[in-house]
Chains A and B, each alone.
Chain A
Amino acid sequence: NAGVTQTPKFQVLKTGQSMTLQCAQDMNHEYMSWYRQDPGMGLRLIHYSVGAGITDQGEVPNGYNVSRSTTEDFPLRLLSAAPSQTSVYFCASSYSRDRGASPLHFGNGTRLTVT
């Protein structure tokens, strides 16, 4: 029972490079989301999805793209990395489309450094 699988665990990018953070869940969850976690701040929502083909912006969406072509996968794309995107990224899923109404299942995080 894999749960939420997030890759890679660590990544270093140069300013201007692009990359994709992968997230997959095997629990048939409708809801998936991406957060970033920075020192001294709570988790902040980047993008979320309530089902295949449906995505929406969170609090801090600038510089990131997402897509949800299948229920299982929700990749996060950094289009042109900037030092301000240095952070720890978490993917999360939950059973209910009713946001926040069921427990969240998190991936193990990706520590991204942009130089």
Chain B
Amino acid sequence: KNEVEQSPQNLTAQEGEFITINCSYSVGISALHWLQQHPGGGIVSLFMLSSGKKKHGRLIATINIQEKHSSLHITASHPRDSAVYICAVRPYSGGGADGLTFGKGTHLIIQP
């Protein structure tokens, strides 16, 4: 059974700090998604990646397929980055009925 583990579960940091959120999974995958959910708000897709690295503004996502691990980095963090960050993977087989297995999320708070 595929497990998706995110760490840390909760993270509080000061504005300006460099943030790293980790996602580990247990089976071979064809894609990994990073999602952002603001308090009381909807969910936004940040990245979908299958290898290497992607960058959008201050957000960087990396994936190491061999180690079954992905990281989401936020540079020069800002209070508006406060949100829950969710990792989801698309296994080659055995994923959820829609092909995705979700982590439980990392709750990030950036203090001014």
Which of B12-20, B30-38, B55-63, B66-74 faces chain A?
B30-38
A64-115 interface with B by 8 A CB criterion: 90, 92, 98-109
Once A100-B31, A103-B48 are accepted as A-B contacts, the answer to whether A108 and B41 lie under 8 Å apart by CB is yes
Closest to A106 in B: B43
B residues less than 8 Å from A42 (CB atoms): 4, 86, 101-105
Q: Does A56 contact B (CB under 8 A)?
A: yes
B residues less than 8 Å from A98 (CB atoms): 99
Count residues of chain B with CB under 8 A from any CB of chain A.
Answer: 25
The A-B contact count (CB < 8 A) is: 70
Closest to A103 in B: B45
Once A90-B42, A100-B90 are accepted as A-B contacts, the answer to whether A45 and B30 lie under 8 Å apart by CB is no
B residues less than 8 Å from A33 (CB atoms): 98
A residues less than 8 Å from B102 (CB atoms): 42-44
Once A90-B43, A104-B33, A107-B42 are accepted as A-B contacts, the answer to whether A99 and B98 lie under 8 Å apart by CB is yes
A54-B55 Cα distance, complex, nearest whole Å:
36
B86 touches A43 (CB 8 A): yes
Closest to B4 in A: A42
B45 touches A59 (CB 8 A): no
Q: Does B100 contact A (CB under 8 A)?
A: yes
Closest to B95 in A: A100
Q: Does B76 contact A (CB under 8 A)?
A: no
Q: Does A40 contact B (CB under 8 A)?
A: yes
B33 touches A103 (CB 8 A): yes
A44-B33 Cα distance, complex, nearest whole Å:
15
Report B91 CB to chain A, min CB distance, Å.
9
Contact of B99 among A41, A99, A105, A107 (CB under 8 A): A99
5 A-B contacts (beta carbon < 8 Å): A41-B104, A42-B104, A58-B97, A59-B96, A100-B100
